[in-house]
Chains A and B, each alone.
Chain A
Amino acid sequence: MAYRWGMVIDLDRCTGCEACVAACHAENNIATVGDAAAAQGRAMHWIRVERYWEGEFPNVRAWFRPIPCQQCDAAPCEPVCPTYASYHNADGLNAQVYNRCIGTRYCANACPYMGRYFNWFNPVWDKPLNLQLNPDVSVREAAVMEKCTFCIQRIKAAEIKAGMEKREIKDGEFSPACVQSCPAGAMVFGDLDNPDSEVSRLSRSVRGTKLLSEVGTFPKVTYLERESSRGDE
């Protein structure tokens, strides 16, 4: 059974709390790089919350846009990889095979969303944090590219479980760490091919937009634009 996993992010609900970022770090064994490297731009967050300011002082409003990998249907990162480290898997996800990556970094240049992160050095965890790594996710070594996987370990676990029980995965049966941890319920995850799923219903909303749709990447992440921004226009 093939699925087409997708996500909807409601920008009106996002409070910018970054719980998704913290959850993602914990779930996916993402190393922290230290403040010097972070200032240089080398911080790794598979999902990041971009903060934008609107209006003139003192009437300033902040709004937020969480950006994970957009899991594009026509992903620019995939054809450029010479070793198939970046490839399209059967579920339509932009998968990354760490062991195949030789570190050309071409995929990261090609990605319009800057959704790819590079291990400039071997990751380090201060003791005892090295004991709390998620055993379901491989730890990446220096010089390989990594990115949001939509928590592929959870997808696979659910697929295997459903397969053994000879049934389809139910809508909302599982979700990636970011969706699970969002206190505002701003993120919804599910199968876009199932017309009854919440994610497919919301992605057809009139508020639904794709980020940088002009680049022609056909992302599987839909943003529900802010109602509040409409009145301003």
Chain B
Amino acid sequence: MATNSIAPANVARLSDDRISHDLLHPVFHTSRRFYLIALLLTVPILAAIGAFLYQAYAGIGVAGITRPVFWGFYITNFVFWIGISHAGTLISAILRLANAGWRRPVTRCAEAITVFALVIGASFPVIHLGRPWLFFWLIPYPSERGIWPNFRSPLLWDFFAIGTYITGSLTFLLLPIIPDWATVRDKASGWRKRIYTVLALGWRGTPREWRRLEMGMRIMAVAIIPVAVSVHTIVSWDFAMAPVPMWHSTVFGPYFVAGAIFSGIAALIIAMAFLRKFLHLEEYLKPIHFDNLGKLLLLMSLLWIYFIFAERLTVWYGNQTSEMAAFWSIQRGKFAILFWTMVFCNFLIPFPILAIKKLRTIAGTVIASVTVVIGMWIERFLIIVPPLEHKYLPYAWGNYRPTWVEITITAGTFAAMALLYLLFVKFVPIISMWEFKAGQHVPPPSPERISALSPVQPGLQSTLPATDSEA
């Protein structure tokens, strides 16, 4: 059952020592370049924090949102980042359940994207609040005010959906890190050893621990898939539940989920390319990984163009006065440039690159991914703003133009994503070492064989490869 999971990616075998050496290098050695990049990234982040504090102090009016466009860049960013978060955990869970062997070097960097994109995405509903210091009124706790939050509000569904997703994906990310942190602990000394002793949660690598880890991961992989799908469905309901022309659409649930996975895979490919280049992981993240993820991106690109076609065709055919105003402003009005840029970025550019095998290289998939990320941001913007500008009564139509506050905060979150990822790579081996090692062994050791290996020296146990039967 397990042997068929060995993909061509793993044909050239690497020794366990070599793997540990390569993958632990970024954890133990910090170059000057790291500090420089980290420092550079903090500049836009501090600017964004400053802009937010200014907005909280002066009033939300310093942002460009106005009547009738009450939601603008902030909610665009919210949907965008929650979308980005869909790569990691979902793909990782599906690949684990499918027991795809090539997943081993990919899963952790994907899951990390999920957690960080979620943290950033979840901060936007707070940033966009008029009174952000009262955000906790969304939390149902017995309060002196004597009222519960309104469970009929999609914003409250968001709160629970995102809360569940963060909890789940954080667990899903941290569980398989435990053995790797134990490895770091065993190899480290001084302050580093003290930190990783705490992080490793006393992992000793006994067969019982391995079995529990496998069980936990299998449960999480199964549980996280419906959670991930539901999260972006609920995000889409923020719009679909309101009777705003072109928001009030039943297709939004699956349309948003498809778009989320689409942008998420693109983000994953970009992150992997950076890791490969800067951490010299050429032996681990191979062209086949980019090729496989490129095929997945191709599929999602087709799905995306199908959904946007289905959505637009029904609106156009239905020909409701209120909807047509927003429709035409997107198709050939002032938003037309953005619309066609989006179509180019999400379909016309990536489709040929990803469909032609010769172009589906690392460089090709990265180019396609960058355009997809740009295109998907525009898509979120076009979903939110043009319909708000053209609600039912023409007398109340209006214009939206973002101010420097919104732009600074938006830029800051991209830097925040990069910095969080950079720090993660510094504290965690970005490729799951034990899983990768397990993939190198043919046939992989069964649990019985591991149990037979007793007594084992404590230092070695944590680096033992696991069985390949984990989901």
Contact = CB atoms under 8 A, between A and B. Distances in A.
A109 B71 contact: yes
Most buried by B among A67, A118, A216: A118
Contact of A113 (B61, B65, B154, B393): B393
Interface in A108-123: 108-110, 112-114, 117-122
B94 interface: no
26 contacts: A41-B67, A41-B399, A42-B61, A42-B66, A67-B393, A80-B153, A80-B241, A80-B242, A82-B155, A82-B156, A83-B138, A83-B149, A101-B130, A103-B130, A104-B155, A106-B70, A110-B243, A112-B244, A112-B392, A118-B130, A119-B130, A120-B59, A120-B66, A121-B61, A142-B59, A143-B60
Contacts of A89: none
B396 interface: yes
Given A106-B242, A120-B61, A82 B150 contact: yes
Contacts of A101: 130-131
B462 to A, nearest CB: 46
Contacts of B70: 105-106, 108-109, 118
A50 B60 CA distance: 27
Interface string A113-137: 1100111111000000000000000
Main secondary structure of the interface of B (DSSP, over half): loop
Contacts of A121: 58-59, 61
B243 A215 contact: yes
Given A102-B131, A103-B130, A144-B131, A41 B150 contact: no
A91 B130 CA distance: 29
A42 B399 CA distance: 11
Given A118-B67, A118-B130, A215-B243, A81 B61 contact: no
Interface in B133-148: 134-135, 137-138, 145, 147
B201 interface: no
Nearest to B135: A102
B342 interface: no
Main secondary structure of the interface of A (DSSP, over half): loop
A79 B243 contact: no
Interface string B386-409: 001001110110110000000000
Interface string B45-76: 00000000000001111000111101100000
A162 interface: no
A143 B59 CA distance: 7
A40 interface: yes
Given A82-B149, A106-B242, A144-B131, 5 more contacts: A79-B150, A104-B130, A110-B242, A114-B67, A144-B130
A117 B243 contact: no
Interface string A38-54: 00111000001011100
B33 interface: no
A109 B247 CA distance: 10
B129 interface: yes
A76 interface: yes
Contact of B137 (A102, A120, A144): A102
Contacts of B131: 101-103, 143-144
Contacts of B59: 120-122, 142-143
Question: Interface size for chain A: under 10, 10 to 19, 20 to 34, or 35 or more residues?
Answer: 35 or more
Interface residues of B, number: 42
A35 to B, nearest CB: 14
Interface of A: 37, 40-42, 48, 50-52, 67, 76, 79-84, 100-106, 108-110, 112-114, 117-122, 142-144, 212, 215-217
A26 B58 CA distance: 26
A121 to B, nearest CB: 4
Contacts of B152: 79-80
A212 B154 CA distance: 24
A177 to B, nearest CB: 22
Given A109-B244, A109-B388, A114 B396 contact: yes
A12 B71 CA distance: 37
A81 B156 CA distance: 9
Which 8 residue pairs across A and B have the least CB separation, nearest first? A103-B130, A143-B130, A120-B61, A114-B396, A105-B70, A121-B59, A50-B395, A82-B153
B153 A106 contact: yes
Contacts of B147: 84, 100
B392 to A, nearest CB: 5
Nearest to A79: B152
A82 B138 contact: yes
B380 to A, nearest CB: 15
